């Protein structure tokens, strides 16, 4: 059956915007020294709060849809975690959502599907937790996969800015969305009804391209990307930022290439780290494959087990990037 996915998009946008507001609220409260102390509690609170909110919205609208999410509530259920539970309840209450522990656990654990099915959602409640803790970029990524194809995506980037809204003080916090075959759009997390289309760059000369990659060299090989940049004679420094905000930056043409190059044998990319951003770039006119040029295979459950790494480009320079990866020995 053909569907336009307008209800799915509407629910996804509202859910991700709500989650983004909770994440912002928690990130604002991060103490300056929490990084040095390696205090991960803000991530814990925002991660669970964000996943609970998205799950709650999906449960109400699509009660039969399975969700493959990053978090489960096992740890949160431990008696000694009461302070975390209270902090999450406080964040939800600030959004006028009053609930109890059992309901909270149930929302979080509804995202516990592991296996592929014909129709499922995948959620990363906070992608780029290291960026979140550094008070830098992170994303909330939600995608619907039907018959192995990503068909709806909503990716919230609470710290990305643009002129998309008329209210300058509300210019920070963007929500990218896409429906398969219908293009990609961006709006402010503050006003979901004012959106504009996003398009990848039209750069064809690889020496004029700019690439982006993870801040964390453990997530993507900076050494190999530097070799590719040299081979393709790129003049610009790479843009390093956390999370699927990288896909969004390529989708709106601020970078031409996103390289995610394997750092260790055997690591398999998780679908929640890619499904949302993937459709945004594809619908903005770009191309996404793994490092060997193979399409990403979203039919394998929680992992992209048939793929290694990810390359997203404006489409025009894709083949040259894949050839360069082969030449430097990545593919």
Q: Which residues belong to the active site?
A: 47, 129
- Residue 139 CB, shortest distance to ligand AMP, in Å, is 8
- E-strand ranges in the chain read 67-69, 119-127, 139-146, 149-161, 172-179, 184-188, 191-198, 211-213, 239-240, 257-260, 287-289, 310-313
Tokens of 190: 């503050």
Which one among 18, 47, 242, 273 touches Mg ion, defined by CB under 5 A? 273
Residue 223 binds to ligand AMP (criterion: CB under 6 A): no
**Which 103-132 positions form the footprint of Mg ion (CB under 5 A)?**
124, 127
- Residue 47 CB, shortest distance to ligand AMP, in Å, is 11
- Residue 197 CB, shortest distance to Mg ion, in Å, is 26
242 touches, from Mg ion, ligand AMP, none (C-beta below 5 to 8 Å by class): ligand AMP
Which one among 159, 165, 243, 307 touches ligand AMP, defined by CB under 6 A? 243
- Residue 120 CB, shortest distance to Mg ion, in Å, is 17
Contacts of 302 (CB under 8 A, 6+ apart): 68, 114, 270, 271, 272
**257 in helix, strand or coil?**
strand
Residue 51 binds to ligand AMP (criterion: CB under 6 A): no
**3 class by beta-carbon count within 10 Å (0-12 exposed, 13-18 middle, 19+ buried):** exposed
Residue 225 binds to ligand AMP (criterion: CB under 6 A): no
Which one, 269 or 320, has the nearer CB to Mg ion? 269
Residue 221 binds to ligand AMP (criterion: CB under 6 A): no
Phi, psi of 285 (to 5 degrees): 105, 5
On whether the CB atoms of residues 150 and 119 are closer than 8 A, the answer is: no
214 touches, from ligand AMP, Mg ion, none (C-beta below 5 to 8 Å by class): ligand AMP
The number of angstroms, rounded, from the C-alpha of 316 to the middle of its chain's C-alpha atoms is 23
Which one among 135, 270, 294, 300 touches ligand AMP, defined by CB under 6 A? 270
Contacts of 189 (CB under 8 A, 6+ apart): 17, 20, 21, 156, 158, 173, 174, 175
Which one among 127, 256, 290, 320 touches ligand AMP, defined by CB under 6 A? 127
Which one among 8, 71, 273, 290 touches ligand AMP, defined by CB under 6 A? 273
What is the side-by-side order of every strand in the sheet holding 211-213? 239-240, 211-213, 257-260, 310-313, 287-289
Residue 219 binds to ligand AMP (criterion: CB under 6 A): yes
The residues that touch Mg ion, with contacts defined as CB under 5 A, are 124, 127, 273
The residues that touch ligand AMP, with contacts defined as CB under 6 A, are 127-128, 214, 216, 218-219, 242-243, 263-264, 267, 270, 273
């Amino acid at each position: 059956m053909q569907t336009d996915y307008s209800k799915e998009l509407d629910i996804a946008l509202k859910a991700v915007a709500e989650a983004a507001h909770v994440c912002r609220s928690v990130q604002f409260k991060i103490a300056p020294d929490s990084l040095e102390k390696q205090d991960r509690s803000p991530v814990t609170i925002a991660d669970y709060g964000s996943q609970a909110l998205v799950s709650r919205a999906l449960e109400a609208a699509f009660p039969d849809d399975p969700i493959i999410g990053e978090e489960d509530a096992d740890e949160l259920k431990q008696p000694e975690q009461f302070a975390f539970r209270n902090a999450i309840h406080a964040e939800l209450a600030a959004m006028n959502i009053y609930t109890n522990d059992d309901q909270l656990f149930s929302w979080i654990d509804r995202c516990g599907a592991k296996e592929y099915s014909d129709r499922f959602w995948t959620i990363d409640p906070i992608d780029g937790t290291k960026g979140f803790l550094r008070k830098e970029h992170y994303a909330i990524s939600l995608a619907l996969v039907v018959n192995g194809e990503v068909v709806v995506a909503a990716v919230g980037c609470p710290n990305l800015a643009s002129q998309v809204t008329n209210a300058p003080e509300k210019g920070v916090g963007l929500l990218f969305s896409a429906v398969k075959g219908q293009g990609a759009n961006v709006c402010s997390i503050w006003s979901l009804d004012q959106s504009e289309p996003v398009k990848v760059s039209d750069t064809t000369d690889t020496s004029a391209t700019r690439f982006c990659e993870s801040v964390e060299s453990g997530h993507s090989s900076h050494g190999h990307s530097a070799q590719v940049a040299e081979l393709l004679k790129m003049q610009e420094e790479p843009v390093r930022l956390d999370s699927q905000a990288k896909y969004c930056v390529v989708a709106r043409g601020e970078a031409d290439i996103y390289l995610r190059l394997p750092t260790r044998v055997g690591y398999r990319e998780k679908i929640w780290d890619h499904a949302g951003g993937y459709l945004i770039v594809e619908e903005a006119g770009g191309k996404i494959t793994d490092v060997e040029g193979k399409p990403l295979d979203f039919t394998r459950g929680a992992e992209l087990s048939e793929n290694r790494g990810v390359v997203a480009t404006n489409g025009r320079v894709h083949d040259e990037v894949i050839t360069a990866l082969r030449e430097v020995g990545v593919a």
